[in-house]
């Protein structure tokens, strides 16, 4: 992630942190603490080393907690000591990464907790911040859910527009088999469902059904294929979808709508 870290620092610091240079002597040393300000699941801690290294390094960095840990309000998650100027100029970038990624991890944990006790797993999606997909998916996994495909290159997901372009469900499945990759296909009607099962589909995506409708379709599938449910699934009703008998539920909200976690940085001179 060095390129992304470098870009973030260049965007924020530019030609120099004029406030810090004006107020803080170059020789001044300091230490700082990253604090959780609410209950959260921490993520993104490994980026701190990269952030400080890009600005010349620090004397000491202690990651008190690990990605995926549940943290309480007021708990220290990491400490750092070194040049006061370095700590100040890196503060916002460090917090931006930690707050956003911990927000994703915290949202993921809430989804995972909501389906506990079922045989259903929660998946993330490709609805991620451009350039940050690997980090957001890592944070989602730290929160306890399962990563879906990373991109368009590592699994086949045949959706409605692919079906239209291929000339039908069966044609799309038969052509996709040549890739040798895992294949999942979206079906929107009972006719498409029958056609997909007759074509040997092993993984079905059912989109925008109510929990009741999904349960009915899953009874008809009767174990002939794995089933993923998607389409506007939020924390409020993910448990109802998980109880339908689905193998997976997916939610873009985990990455595209997770609120930033409240994390602060407190600095003191040494």
Q: Residue 232 is part of a domain; what is its CATH number?
A: 3.20.20.70
Same domain, 64 and 140: no
Same domain, 247 and 144: yes
DSSP bridge partners of 121 = 248
Give the tokens for residue 128. Answer: 């991620």
Domain count, the chain: 2
Question: Is the pLDDT score of 1 beyond 80?
Answer: no
Confidence of residue 262 (pLDDT cuts 50, 70, 90): very high
Question: Half-sphere exposure of residue 90, counting CA atoms within 13 Å on the CB side?
Answer: 28
Same domain, 102 and 226: no
DSSP bridge partners of 250 = 123
* Per-residue pLDDT at 229: 98
Same domain, 202 and 263: no
Same domain, 227 and 199: yes
Question: Is the pLDDT score of 252 beyond 90?
Answer: yes
Same domain, 46 and 60: yes
Same domain, 159 and 67: no
Average per-residue pLDDT in the chain? 97
Segment 41-94, tens digit of pLDDT: 999 999 999 999 999 999 999 999 999 999 999 999 999 999 999 999 999 999
Same domain, 263 and 144: no
CB atoms within 10 A of CB 30: 19
Element (H, E) at 165: helix 160-166
Euclidean distance between CA atoms 144 and 113, whole angstroms: 9
CB atoms within 10 A of CB 224: 13
* Per-residue pLDDT at 47: 98
DSSP bridge partners of 238 = none
Segment 139-163, tens digit of pLDDT: 999 999 999 999 999 999 999 999 9
Same domain, 187 and 66: no
Euclidean distance between CA atoms 79 and 27, whole angstroms: 20
Q: At what angle do helices 47-54 and 84-114 cross, to 10 degrees?
A: 160
Euclidean distance between CA atoms 155 and 181, whole angstroms: 6
Question: Rounded to an integer, what is the distance from CA 186 to the centroid of its chain?
Answer: 22
Q: Model's pTM, two decimal places?
A: 0.96
Segment 204-251, tens digit of pLDDT: 999 999 999 999 999 999 999 999 999 989 999 999 999 999 999 999
Segment 159-203, tens digit of pLDDT: 999 999 999 999 999 999 999 999 999 999 999 999 999 999 999
* Per-residue pLDDT at 171: 96
Same domain, 62 and 143: no
Which CATH number goes with the domain that contains 48? 3.90.1170.20
Report, as an integer, the average pLDDT of 15-33: 98
Segment 96-144, tens digit of pLDDT: 999 999 999 999 999 999 999 999 999 999 999 999 999 999 999 999 9
Query: Residue 123 is part of which domain span?
Result: 116-256
Which backbone phi and psi does 99 adopt, to 5 degrees?
Answer: -65, -45
Same domain, 187 and 250: yes
127 DSSP 8-state letter: -
Which backbone phi and psi does 203 adopt, to 5 degrees?
Answer: -145, 115
Q: Which is nearest to 241 in space by CA: 228, 226, 223?
A: 228
Q: Which is nearest to 33 in space by CA: 64, 70, 78, 75?
A: 78
- Which residues are designated catalytic? 92, 127, 159, 186, 207
């Amino acid at each position: 992630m060095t390129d992304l870290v470098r870009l973030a620092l260049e965007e924020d610091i530019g030609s120099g942190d004029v406030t810090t240079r004006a107020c803080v002597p170059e020789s001044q040393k300091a230490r700082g603490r990253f604090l959780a300000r609410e209950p959260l699941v921490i993520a993104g801690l490994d980026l701190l080393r990269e952030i400080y290294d890009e600005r010349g390094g620090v004397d000491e960095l202690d990651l008190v907690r690990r990605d995926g840990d549940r943290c309480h309000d007021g708990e220290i998650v990491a400490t750092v000591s070194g040049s006061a100027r370095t700590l100040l100029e890196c503060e916002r970038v460090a917090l931006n990464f930690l707050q956003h990624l911990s927000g994703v991890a915290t949202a993921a944990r809430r989804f995972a907790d909501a389906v506990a006790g079922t045989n259903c797993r929660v998946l993330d999606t490709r609805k991620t911040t451009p350039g940050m997909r690997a980090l957001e998916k890592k944070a989602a996994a730290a929160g306890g859910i399962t990563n879906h495909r990373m991109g368009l290159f590592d699994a086949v997901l045949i959706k409605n527009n692919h079906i239209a372009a291929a000339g039908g469900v069966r044609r799309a499945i038969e052509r996709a088999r040549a890739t040798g990759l895992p294949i999942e296909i979206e079906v929107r009607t009972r006719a498409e469902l029958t056609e997909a099962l007759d074509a040997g589909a092993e993984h079905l995506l059912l989109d925008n059904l109510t929990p009741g409708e999904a349960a009915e379709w899953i009874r008809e599938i009767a174990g002939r294929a794995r089933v993923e449910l998607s389409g506007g699934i939020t924390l409020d009703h993910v448990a109802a979808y998980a109880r339908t008998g689905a193998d997976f539920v997916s939610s873009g909200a985990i990455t595209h709508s997770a609120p930033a976690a409240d994390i602060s940085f407190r600095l003191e001179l040494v």
